[in-house]
Amino acid sequence: MAFAQYLLPALALAGTAFAQCSNSGTLTIASAADASQLASCTTYSGSVAIETGLAYPKDNNGRQQVEVTTVRTITGNLTVTDAINLSRLSFASLRSIGGFELVGLTVMSELSMPELTEVSQLNFTALPALQTLDFGDPGLTKAESVLITNTGLSSLMGINNLKQVDTFNINNNQALQNISLQVTSITNALRIEANDGYQSGLTTSFPLLETATNMTFRNCSSISLPALKNVTEDLGFYGNTFETFFAPNLTSAGGLIFVDNTQLTNISLPQLTAINATYQIANNTELKQVNGFTKLSVVKGALDFSGNFTEVQLPALTQVQGAFNLQTSAKFDCSAFDQLSSNKVIRGKYTCLGMRTRPGGQGTGSGTSGGGDEKSSAGQIFANLPATVGGTLVLAGLLQIIL
């Protein structure tokens, strides 16, 4: 009986603690009393949301702070949306979260989670006052997806030791100056866009990255991918300001695209042998020579080059399954590619044009040219005469001969 006297209250207490640490719905925190429900929990089975209209005390500036000290794991999501007076959020012991979403926290300048190492989905959107992440050391090492957009972050210290990530999307962070990530593979998509480091440009480095599914880079001042071997879908570079791109170990890509990189002067992919979709180089105004693809053998999609280059060398090319379009504003010798077309190495529609006023992409222009003269498919030469010569002067010459 005495044993039962102690056992039953203990069981009741344990049941109460279990109930506090488990919720099939979402625990909403609007006050310190609500947060105290987590005080006895090291693992909280459920989701936690911090209320938009917090009843926490305000400081002299009208700002509020939320601190939770004990919980280590939240199996569901941790969500804070539009808490416009929240300036500081701290979970001192939290190590793992299902999903982590911070949206519309316009004055939050401090985020402290020094023990956090793992999340499923991370979404930081519209956090203009947040300049740094206090995620401790090593910080976040594992995530399925990461989205950081429209924040005041100047660096990603705290997530730069990620070893695993499926989707990584960093965009429109105007103060962000550097991204350096230790991840070895990206199984879905990498997108780095419109982060301009206060107009000085964003530097990016992925020193250990070997494989990726889809990669897009925009508005970067430098891109380093020294270990990259394979991209199964597109690898695209748009509107960047780097001068050279060198990927010494890349052997294959789905599509390969360089568009509007206005300072680009050199591309070197010495081990690349296969492009399994579109191969596009367009409107890179400083790129005069395309000669860094010495082993490229197969293009399974279209090859589409337009710009003002004077030289294109693809010495190992054995197959282009789609259309071939090469147009340049410079004088250009198409004879090597004429031969490839004749030999059926190029299997789709073939266009090679030099001295074009407006070099265009696939579907513009027709025929072939070398040194500025355009030939039709029948082999006739049509000189590129100025409009005045093509009209009045030529007609006058014919009249002289007749007379």
Higher pLDDT among residues 348 and 389, named by residue: 348
Q: Is the dihedral angle over the CA atoms 262, 263, 266, 267 positive or is it negative?
A: negative
Model confidence at 40: pLDDT above 70: yes
- Banded pLDDT at 251 (limits 50, 70, 90): very high
Q: Which two tokens stand for residue 371?
A: 């040194």
Q: Say if residue 215 is exposed, middle or buried (CB neighbours under 10 Å; 0-12, 13-18, 19+).
A: buried
Rounded CA separation 128/71 (Å): 28
pLDDT > 90 fraction of the chain, expressed in percent and rounded: 75
- Residue whose structure tokens are 């991840």: 183
Contact 281, 301 (CB under 8 A): no
Nearest Cα residue to 327 out of 299, 292, 363 = 363
Rounded CA separation 17/360 (Å): 69
Residues 6+ apart with CB under 8 A from 150: 125, 126, 127, 128, 172, 173
Q: Which two tokens stand for residue 173?
A: 């962070």
Q: List pLDDT tens digits, range 311-347.
A: 999 999 999 999 999 999 999 999 999 999 999 999 9
Residue 164 pairs in a beta bridge with: 142
Say what the pLDDT of residue 198 is.
Answer: 62
Q: Say if residue 40 is exposed, middle or buried (CB neighbours under 10 Å; 0-12, 13-18, 19+).
A: middle
Rounded CA separation 53/135 (Å): 26
Residue 253 pairs in a beta bridge with: 231, 275
Rounded CA separation 324/337 (Å): 9
- Banded pLDDT at 166 (limits 50, 70, 90): very high
pLDDT, the chain, mean: 87
Higher pLDDT among residues 31 and 168, named by residue: 168
Rounded CA separation 368/327 (Å): 9
Residue 282 pairs in a beta bridge with: 259, 306
What mean pLDDT comes out for the span 11-30? 69
Answer left, alpha or beta for residue 121, where phi above 0 means left and psi between -120 and 50 means alpha: beta
Say what the pLDDT of residue 197 is.
Answer: 65
DSSP class of residue 164 equals B
Instruction: Return the amino acid letter for 399.
Output: L
Rounded CA separation 133/137 (Å): 11
What mean pLDDT comes out for the span 1-19? 44
What mean pLDDT comes out for the span 279-295? 97
Q: Would you give the distance in Å from CA 277 to the centre of its chain?
A: 19
- Banded pLDDT at 13 (limits 50, 70, 90): very low
What mean pLDDT comes out for the span 219-245? 97
Residue 189 pairs in a beta bridge with: 167, 214
Q: List pLDDT tens digits, range 87-128.
A: 999 999 999 999 999 999 999 999 999 999 999 999 999 999
- Banded pLDDT at 402 (limits 50, 70, 90): very low
If one counts every other C-beta atom within 10 angstroms of the C-beta of residue 363, the result is: 12
Contact 182, 161 (CB under 8 A): yes
Contact 48, 29 (CB under 8 A): yes
Say what the pLDDT of residue 365 is.
Answer: 66
Q: Would you give the distance in Å from CA 128 to the centre of its chain?
A: 21
What mean pLDDT comes out for the span 168-191? 96
Q: Out of 7-21, 84-98, 246-260, 314-328, which region has the weakest mean confidence (pLDDT)?
A: 7-21
Say what the pLDDT of residue 385 is.
Answer: 33
Q: Is the dihedral angle over the CA atoms 159, 163, 169, 174 positive or is it negative?
A: positive
